[in-house]
A and B are shown apart, each in its own frame.
Chain A
Amino acid sequence: MAILEFARGLGVTFKNMVRPPQTIQYPEQRRRLPERTRGRHVLHRYENGLERCIGCYLCAGACPADCIYIEAAENTPDNRVSAGERYARIYEIDELRCIFCGFCEEACPTGAITLEPILDISDYSRGPLIYTKDMLLEPPRDLDSMPA
């Protein structure tokens, strides 16, 4: 009887050997994450290219981990960055301190900051993990190619 069980066990391992592996080969293949996965932050723009962030500090206030640092500045007629009165001159998030709770997203009155399904946040030292505004901001859309 033991020999039969032994043979059955061998059969199971052999069957698994000829089946394709389950592994996702990470840097080349990526798993499709759920749409609402809370990963890295992204700062958004309006359709016309103006930044949504108005430098109101609400996200920094809501953040339980205190990982958002903002310095705001006034918009001027010849330097119009955001749609509101002010804009974030400096916007930094320490991704090592962030607990990905999404409170910043909820606190934001203009929908400027969201957590996106981006999980490859890693580096060899702490410095590069403090994300600055140009790393977080989505690129401006090409206005010429848009329908008027």
Chain B
Amino acid sequence: MNVWLDPLIESVVKCIIVLALLMATAGYLTLVERKLLARMQSRYGPNRAGPLGLLQPLADGIKLLLKEPITPRAVKIPVYLAAPAISLFVAIMAFAVVPLGPAFYLWGHQRTMAVADVNIGVLYLLAILSLGVYGIVLGSWGSSNRYSLLGGLRSSAQMISYELSLGLSLIGVVLLAGTLSPIGIVQAQNHRPLTWFFLLQPVGFALFSIGAFAETNRAPFDLAEAEQELTGGYHTEYPGMRFGLYYIAEYMNMTTLSALVATLFLGGWVGIGNGIFFDITATPWAQILGVFWFLVKAALFLFLFIWVRATLPRIRYDKLMWFGWKILLPLAVLNLLVTALYVSLS
């Protein structure tokens, strides 16, 4: 096929698949979360719209679209309208470097299952993830509302504090893998059995998980949208689908970070027991099974998101800062130091 047309078509097809996958996951994650939360509180959750409540996300979407888009008089229009879009943009962008499965050959070319096979993928991820705070801060500032601004301030302080330990925990993984490419990191975890990085880097895994909760503004770190004292925080002034964008962005962020955990710590697309009992990469089922294992691992971490939300109350603001700076950061530095020593000595 044409030399430049072929990669173009490949990229477009991958983009469409990943976008559709993300949208569907984010939509149905809202239903799964409501159902699981309900069960953890001895309730049923949504079960009226369609069989088992499966049409609930559609009904929610239609409701949000039909709502009147009220624009408060004092808002700073360009900032106010751009902010939710930035949130969503960041949530989608981060997924671009996540490989869904092993590479395969089609029409004489090797195709990776990530939208972009970037050799500095982890760096790209850190850059994109730290952009995420702009969506919230700009939205809260553009709303010209005190509660919103308080939410935005909390969120910016929180994200900056927790991103430090998040980034440092990733460097441990990068040191062990010797590469910044997510595909390379998955391969590095599967050279030998039992070398998935959550086993080799338990502290790093814990730090990254905690950072992921803070990064997505999820309980117990959901201070930016504390309903009780901030009446919704940064999205107080957003009606209908504008709020919907923030909502979808939150769930997409959860999905993206779960996919990242699966890739960077849980061995990516390689299944349990592979390399010990059998070698899956040798069979033609490798691609399908690979995607399956990847989705299972990401789903496990998504379950953890919901499980923790049902369990933990919100952390007090000063404790949040104390925890971030005085516990997580020293731990992250220590973890990095030990890992660096180990890598340089071996």
Write out, one digit per residue, whether chain B residues 39-58 have a CB within 8 A of any chain A CB (1) or not (0): 11111100000000000000
Judging by beta carbons under 8 Å apart, are B39 and A9 in contact?
A: no
Judging by beta carbons under 8 Å apart, are B42 and A16 in contact?
A: yes
Name which of A21-29, A55-63, A136-144 contacts chain B: A21-29
CB-contacts of A1-22 with B (<8 A):
6, 9-10, 12-14, 16-17, 19, 21-22
B308 within 8 A of A: yes
Judging by beta carbons under 8 Å apart, are A23 and B312 in contact?
A: no
5 A–B contacts, CB within 8 A, in A order:
A16-B42, A17-B39, A17-B40, A21-B39, A21-B43
Query: Knowing A17-B36, A21-B38 touch, does A10 contact B308 (C-beta < 8 A)?
Result: yes
Residue numbers in A under 8 Å from B39 (CB-CB): 16-17, 21
In the complex, the chain B residue whose C-beta lies closest to that of A25 is B44
Judging by beta carbons under 8 Å apart, are B42 and A12 in contact?
A: no
B11 within 8 A of A: no
In the complex, the chain B residue whose C-beta lies closest to that of A20 is B42
- Distance of B328 from chain A, by nearest CB (Å): 13
Judging by beta carbons under 8 Å apart, are A23 and B43 in contact?
A: yes
Residue numbers in A under 8 Å from B307 (CB-CB): 10, 13-14
Residue numbers in A under 8 Å from B41 (CB-CB): 16
Q: For this complex, into which size category does the number of interface residues on chain B fall?
A: 10 to 19
- Distance of B36 from chain A, by nearest CB (Å): 7
B311 within 8 A of A: yes
Judging by beta carbons under 8 Å apart, are B40 and A9 in contact?
A: no
Q: Looking at chain B's contact residues, is the secondary structure mostly helix, strand, loop, or mixed?
A: helix
**Bound complex: CA A55 to CA B227 (Å):** 57
- Distance of A19 from chain B, by nearest CB (Å): 7
B310 within 8 A of A: yes
The contact of A19 among B38, B42, B310, by CB within 8 Å, is B42
**Bound complex: CA A12 to CA B40 (Å):** 9
CB-contacts of B237-259 with A (<8 A):
none
Judging by beta carbons under 8 Å apart, are B311 and A10 in contact?
A: yes
**Bound complex: CA A10 to CA B219 (Å):** 13
**Bound complex: CA A118 to CA B312 (Å):** 41
Query: Knowing A17-B36, A21-B38 touch, does A6 contact B44 (C-beta < 8 A)?
Result: no
Residue numbers in A under 8 Å from B42 (CB-CB): 16, 19, 21-23
Residue numbers in B under 8 Å from A10 (CB-CB): 307-308, 311
Residue numbers in B under 8 Å from A19 (CB-CB): 42
- Distance of B211 from chain A, by nearest CB (Å): 16
Write out, one digit per residue, whether chain B residues 300-322 have a CB within 8 A of any chain A CB (1) or not (0): 00000001101110000000000
**Bound complex: CA A14 to CA B39 (Å):** 9
Judging by beta carbons under 8 Å apart, are B311 and A12 in contact?
A: yes
CB-contacts of B27-42 with A (<8 A):
36, 38-42
- Distance of A98 from chain B, by nearest CB (Å): 31
**Bound complex: CA A98 to CA B44 (Å):** 34
The contact of B311 among A9, A22, A23, A25, by CB within 8 Å, is A9
Residue numbers in A under 8 Å from B44 (CB-CB): 21, 23, 25
Judging by beta carbons under 8 Å apart, are A13 and B43 in contact?
A: no
- Among all A-B residue pairs, the 3 with the closest Cβ atoms: A22-B42, A13-B40, A9-B311
**Bound complex: CA A6 to CA B307 (Å):** 12
The contact of B40 among A6, A16, A22, A25, by CB within 8 Å, is A16
Residue numbers in B under 8 Å from A16 (CB-CB): 39-42
Residue numbers in A under 8 Å from B310 (CB-CB): 13
Residue numbers in B under 8 Å from A13 (CB-CB): 40, 307, 310-311
**Bound complex: CA A56 to CA B273 (Å):** 86
Residue numbers in A under 8 Å from B311 (CB-CB): 6, 9-10, 12-13
Write out, one digit per residue, whether chain B residues 206-221 have a CB within 8 A of any chain A CB (1) or not (0): 0000000000000000
In the complex, the chain B residue whose C-beta lies closest to that of A11 is B311
- Distance of B207 from chain A, by nearest CB (Å): 14
Residue numbers in B under 8 Å from A14 (CB-CB): 40, 307
Greatest chain B CB density within 10 A among A10, A12, A19 is at A10
In the complex, the chain A residue whose C-beta lies closest to that of B45 is A21
In the complex, the chain A residue whose C-beta lies closest to that of B48 is A25
